[in-house]
Structure 1
Amino acid sequence: MTMIVPLSYAITPIPPESGFSGFINIGAGVTTVESNTLAESGSIELGNKTITSLNKSPNSETSGLPVLGLEIAYTFASTQTQVFFGNQLEDFIRFDFSARGGIRQKIGNAGVIGISFVETPLATEVWEDPFVTGSERTSSERTSSGYRLIWDKIYGSGLELRYSSREVDIDKERSGEALGLSAADRTLLDRNGDRNRFSVQYTFKWNENKHIVTPVIAYTDQDLDGGAVAYDGLSLSVNYIYSVNRWKFITNTTYAELKYDEINPVFSDKADSSRVGASFTAFYNKPFGWNWTANAGVVWFQENSDIDFYDSSVSLVNIGMLYQF
């Protein structure tokens, strides 16, 4: 399951002067998750330890969680080069808390090129064997690491290209063991592998940037070792930013269709699915005269699979305070 959350601003422009820059956000939220495959993230429970049937959609778990993010960058103005570490502001607004370290470089009129290495600082726990019924399931760490390439403001236009690749590793992969599946069938359920994503987006601005609309088309290839859990598909998103006075409102909608490679040996069917998501985030600059930006948002995501076991949903409500320097 992937959380679909709002797109944000384009890459933060490289400052014209040398020195440090960045942001920090401190906040909190409440999330409700329905998933038969996720266990927990940190101390936040995401799924039920015990299930009684493989033919039902998951129950929900509601938890509070901290919403923290930061980035520290240093700019070399003479070469228009910037090195950075942390959560990029564009990712924070998408609630993607992967840690990134990398470099951004302005290439004359060609635009801005960026490369970053990505690591998940806090592993997500999944079930070693999600198909255990009638007794408590055991969780296992799932980590991912990789890199991301970005080419933004291509020749002064609103065009941006992105490519990312991550390796997904589950510490103890035992899917299907409790069902006594053959070695060949268990191999079809292996969730280790690679995730590749390529996207194209174009930003339209008018009325002195009061309105900003960014449509995005993306192709995702979840190239996992198990053919029954590997998939690929296209997603379409539209991001709208409206600014007025000290307010900024960001709305995003997303739809995706995913096709799985092989039949799942547990259910004798493919887990083809559709995903739909929407989010809304509001920012208010300098509340009470403070040099911070208050923010609040809601996120909703749902995946409907041809196999009920793999249905999932996420909803999130959050508030926070953002400081940029």
Structure 2
Amino acid sequence: MEKKYLVCCMALFSGQALAELGESGFSGEISALIGFGSEESNFNTDSDKTINNVDNSGQSKSEVLAAPLGQLRYTFGQLDNHQVFIGTSREDIAVGDFALEAGYRFGLTEDSSVAVSFLPTIMGGETWEDPYLVGAERKATDISGNAFRFQYNGIMDSPFSLDLAYYTQDIDVEHSGSQYTSTQQKLLDRSGNGLYSKASYKYMIDSTSLLQPALIYKTFSADGEAMSSKSYGAELSYMKFVSKHAFSISGKYLNISYDASHPVFDIEQKNSEYSLFAGYEYDQFMGWDDWAFNAIAGYDAKSSNITFFDETQYMVGVGVTYKF
């Protein structure tokens, strides 16, 4: 089960997307979240190891999720406009996944900043060595990868922001299509690298409400042509702050097309992805100045022209955050 919801929903409350870096010295937050989630996917290594065909969508598996999140920041400089940070970013993660991030942020003006960061193991997790293996036991293998990220928030003191990333993906043991010819197997190699870009605009409806539309474009160049893809889409987020309460909801759509015909299904894969996230934060929880209560929920669906790639997942969770 991917745990990106634990980050993406919390990101909607993050103040670090603003240019103001804060007072000099150390600051940060530590969050503890627990939730319940379910995922239906043919690539979930917790599902059945043996399948009899590739004509159906994956089985549904549920689990309890727990994740400690947090980030440590150090702000310095005569104008407090330099900052280094490490931890779990509460901003939108470059390729939509849970990851450690370390980097440097520079405040250009009160309303504008740039940041560069490194995200190790951004694509970390497990998948099948050969997801399409029929009539035999499939084996799990590791996914790894890194990302290098650049952000420009408040471009020239405007409401526009830009988020760019270069990322890699490596499948430790790649045996996709082992029951097919060597030529077909080469088309299914999932290791590669990609580019991510997101342009957003912050519109203040009033002093307590924010609407943020964004456009997203991604490319992934895999070693196997049938696994290379281009994605484009849009995202819309709404945030409302009332006294100690903060509410948010965010929706995203992505259209993904692949570069070559999939040799297992003899057709080019085309996917549509839909995501919906909602979050709530209650500051000064239990009367404690530095604590907050959080509740989050997320739903993610992938609809493909090839049933085998259809996926759905959801999660709900609650937790507390300590800010310092």
TM-score (norm 1): 0.91
Is the 8 Å Cα contact of residues 36 and 64 (structure 2) preserved in structure 1? yes
Alpha carbons of 1:277 and 1:218: their partners in 2 closer, same or farther (altered >3 Å)?
A: same
Alignment map for 1:149-188 (pairs within 5 Å): 149-177=150-178, 179=179, 181-188=180-187
Equivalent residue for 2:221?
A: 223
Structure 2 residue 26 is matched with structure 1 residue 26: no
CA shift digits 1:247-272 (9 cap, x unpaired): 11110011111111000000001110
Is the 8 Å Cα contact of residues 233 and 255 (structure 2) preserved in structure 1? yes
Alpha carbons of 1:149 and 1:19: their partners in 2 closer, same or farther (altered >3 Å)?
A: same
Alpha carbons of 1:285 and 1:170: their partners in 2 closer, same or farther (altered >3 Å)?
A: same
CA shift digits 1:46-72 (9 cap, x unpaired): x33222220001111101111221111
Q: CA deviation at 1:287?
A: 2.0
Alignment map for 1:242-253 (pairs within 5 Å): 242-253=240-251
Equivalent residue for 1:194?
A: 193
Q: CA deviation at 1:23?
A: 0.8
Alignment map for 1:230-309 (pairs within 5 Å): 230-290=228-288, 291-309=290-308
Q: Structure 1: how far apart are the matches of 2:240 and 2:72?
A: 27
Equivalent residue for 1:142?
A: 143
Is the 8 Å Cα contact of residues 48 and 61 (structure 1) preserved in structure 2? no
Alpha carbons of 1:110 and 1:17: their partners in 2 closer, same or farther (altered >3 Å)?
A: closer
Is the 8 Å Cα contact of residues 237 and 253 (structure 1) preserved in structure 2? yes
Q: CA deviation at 1:239?
A: 0.3
Q: Structure 2: how far apart are the matches of 1:107 and 1:101?
A: 20
Q: Structure 1: how far apart are the matches of 2:149 and 2:261?
A: 31
- Local SS of the residue matching 1:50: coil
Q: Structure 2: how far apart are the matches of 1:30 and 1:101?
A: 29
Equivalent residue for 1:37?
A: 43
- Local SS of the residue matching 2:91: helix
Any unmatched runs of 5+ in structure 1?
40-44
Q: CA deviation at 1:97?
A: 2.4
Q: Structure 1: how far apart are the matches of 2:229 and 2:52?
A: 27
Alignment map for 1:65-214 (pairs within 5 Å): 65-79=65-79, 80-91=81-92, 96-108=97-109, 111-120=112-121, 123-177=124-178, 179=179, 181-208=180-207, 210-214=208-212
Equivalent residue for 1:42?
A: none
Identity %: 28
Q: Structure 2: how far apart are the matches of 1:13 and 1:65?
A: 33
Any unmatched runs of 5+ in structure 2?
none
Q: Matched residue pairs, number?
A: 315
TM-score (norm 2): 0.91
- Local SS of the residue matching 1:89: coil
Q: Structure 2: how far apart are the matches of 1:195 and 1:258?
A: 13
Q: Structure 2: how far apart are the matches of 1:281 and 1:16?
A: 24
- Amino acid in the other structure paired with 1:126: T
Is the 8 Å Cα contact of residues 69 and 97 (structure 1) preserved in structure 2? no
Q: Structure 1: how far apart are the matches of 2:244 and 2:111?
A: 32
Alignment root-mean-square deviation, CA: 2.1
Q: CA deviation at 1:152?
A: 0.3
